[in-house]
Structure 1
Amino acid sequence: MQIWACELGLSQIGVTGVDLTSAEPGLQAWLAAGFHGSMGYMASHGMKRARPAELQPGTVSVITARMDYLPQDTPPDWLARETARSLQPGEAVVSVYARGRDYHKVLRSRLQKLQERIAQAIGPFGHRVFTDSAPVMEAELATRSGLGWRGKHTLVLSREAGSMFFLGELFVDFALPETPPVSAHCGHCTACMDVCPTQAIVGPYRLDARRCISYLTIEHAGPIDEALRPLIGNRIYGCDDCQLACPWNKFAQVSPLSDWQAREGLGAGSIVQLMAWTETEFLRRTEGSAIRRIGHARWLRNLALAAGNALSMEALAASERRTLQQALMAHAAHPDPVVQEQVAWSLANQRSTPSANGKLHIPDKVDSVTKPAT
């Protein structure tokens, strides 16, 4: 089955059972702390997320898969290059995973083809494919099946591939030999926690999504908390900081698939250029991309925020300052009130900067809870 998986572009597969009861307390505590923010779907299914056989009746085994996503043209010094991009105020940074095709579609297709290969060998069987598309504890299943261990940033880590990969699952209604879990190798390292701009990793294996830049720029629909805005910098869709700081990502693998090649404007676009996209152009350029689901208004909100952060930098060239201001003014009367407010803030708070140490001051105490595997 591993050979079939590799032929289909999957990087690794594993197998685990369906008993995740030991993960339920962590899930309950994480939800009780409100760390899921406005992601109501995280709580709406109750403990079904930790019970695969309830989510898909008849499930006996879960085949897990990882798919590496570094683009084919990734240079050897990609970690240094990506890290440096957050220091370029006029550049709009999109998370590496989202620059190409929508991984949901690519990975789902490959898992469905794996299911077909298995069915050809053993006959028809009950199944269901998941690619971050239902209440599935993906990271928990991945670690139990030996794809890696849980890093302190809550992502799955592999000694052979770092964390730059997608996860997917194939639920099946027959028993398969389980692949054993692997040991953890984070040791005393806290690089991912230390680098997080908004201190979203509130403790080892504990993530407050409400402070996570990926959540704020993708999942969160309303205005972004003003205290967090300066710390988001020029990240307009997602954030890779914790992954870029992780020593294990020096082993991240380049994908053999062309699907992850960056689209025009998403690999190295400027804030001004991307703010000029009309809604029609946004929809055309993001067709088949994971970015499309946030919509044009949220896209503009994120870009306007990045523009405001760029304008707050004293070293910004006068010509670039003018073009950023003009780009913001072009959307000052946008019909979406969230975009309007963000544009106004960015124009009025051009000198706003984060605290001296670059960290957000968080006065409220955060209870220690374990982030669930999702």
Structure 2
Amino acid sequence: MSATEEPHITVDNTMGAAFIGVICAASLYGVSCVQTWFYFNRYPGDLWYIKCLVAIVWLFDSIHQALISHTVYFYVVTNFNNVSEQANLVWSILLEVLFNGLIGFVVQSFLTMRVWKMSNQNKPLTVLIVLFVLGELTCSVAFTISSLKLVTWMDLTHLKSLSMTVNVLGAVADVMIAAGLFYFLHRSRTGFKKSDTMISKLIMFTVSTGLLTSICAVASLLSILIWGKTLIYVAFYFSLGRLYSNSLLATLNARKSIRGLNDGDGGNVSFSLQTFSNKLRPSRRNMTMAPNQTNISIKIDTTQELIRDKATKEKDFESDITDVGRSEDTSEAV
């Protein structure tokens, strides 16, 4: 290539990466479908807006899977030997960026609310995360609008910086959410073996789901930097939305399993994780908790006798970490 020639993306030689990405995304889509079915069957009593959240994520997931499948079919099957058509952009690969961004926005907003509640409404931290989440969505929308005006793959190279920004903002937001939840969960340790074991499991679960999306976003970003003239990056980006949806569904579906860790315990003392983070200081809110608020509790075996108010005898306090779907305002529950 001479110095005066413009770079181009060799779609015919790199569509195999996109094909692999579609297969991986389809496999994860099957998992999300099973998790969605499992959620609606196991948690029929969840509040309506949590059910709507799951339904919306599954809908966006389905649309995104249809779009990327159409993209690969268009280049690999319909126009397999049509070189001139393969040099042009198909609308589906441009529109999928928007739905990937929407899935990430919904899931990250849900997780940001968990950070907000776990941090006792830490405004600076929450606002910082929100800025990154909104920034990622804004860049995804801007990329989609700008790219729909383009014709060829060569034209798409002009939006490389915007594509990289989307991945950077998404990865930073995921890391901040995972780190925030890790910190506040770790700070909630009590010294009791039962509760600390549960907190350790929650930390492992939270960090693993958060880092998966971060790793995928970073892999997509590095692929753009190293192999910018190919479609290798889409092998990671196609699966990013599926990882977001599965992390949300796994969080919601794990609530009864985590609650089951307390089954069979002999102790009848229950504390809230947010109470731990407040250094076990009593609060008047605890005495006026509404009867219909049901969050996950951590029961601790102890030989100490604790004098408790009659109101607290009637209801175990429960954490809002993994049962946000069962409370209108979990921040008032602790």
Task: Compute the TM-score of the two structures, normalised by the length of structure 1.
Answer: 0.29
State the TM-score, normalized to the length of structure 2: 0.32
Structure with the greater relative contact order (CA < 8 A, sep ≥ 6): 1 or 2? 1
Higher helix share: 2
Higher strand share: 1
Structure with higher Rg: it is: 2
